[in-house]
């Protein structure tokens, strides 16, 4: 039978592995470290861009709502002297459709990157529904 090597004792571990200045920890100190400055800067830049895109897209949506208000108020107005030639309707529709497409394509970029697909789906469905509602209201008014 072969002989088994003698069992090592803790005082022999120091000779083999060297002295330890501190006790072993469950989690290394790197787990609690702050993110790298580059990652923090990247996050701040991404957040600033998302805020800027949200402001631009929200402003376009507000402008679109004002144009739609002008179009529908011109279409449903009972006083023919307010818009006798219907320029509010004509130019309003010409401005409202591209503007709605702009906010529908810009606003999803204000969402977090992993939600862009859902944001685009919601945005484009909203675009179709709201434009259909506006054109239905124009046809009901007799102006469309």
Residue-wise pLDDT for 5-43, tens only, equals: 766 666 666 666 666 655 556 666 665 666 677 878 888
Burial grade of 144 (CB within 10 A; 0-12, 13-18, 19 or more): middle
The neighbour count for residue 67, using CB atoms within 10 Å, is 21
Residue-wise pLDDT for 84-137, tens only, equals: 888 889 999 999 999 999 999 999 999 999 999 999 999 999 999 999 999 999
Residue-wise pLDDT for 64-80, tens only, equals: 999 999 999 999 988 88
């Amino acid at each position: 039978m072969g002989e088994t090597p003698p069992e090592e004792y803790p005082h022999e571990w120091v000779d083999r592995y060297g002295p330890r200045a501190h006790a072993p920890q469950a989690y290394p100190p790197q787990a609690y470290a702050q993110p790298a400055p580059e990652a923090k800067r990247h996050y701040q830049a991404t957040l600033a861009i998302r805020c800027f895109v949200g402001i631009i897209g929200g402003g376009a949506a507000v402008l679109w709502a004002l144009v739609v208000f002008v179009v529908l108020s011109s279409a449903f107005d009972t006083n023919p002297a307010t818009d006798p030639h219907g320029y509010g309707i004509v130019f309003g529709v010409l401005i409202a459709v591209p503007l709605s497409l702009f906010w529908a394509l810009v606003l999803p970029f204000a969402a977090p990157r992993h939600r862009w697909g859902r944001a685009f789906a919601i945005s484009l469905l909203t675009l179709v529904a709201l434009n259909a509602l506006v054109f239905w209201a124009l046809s009901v008014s007799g102006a469309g």
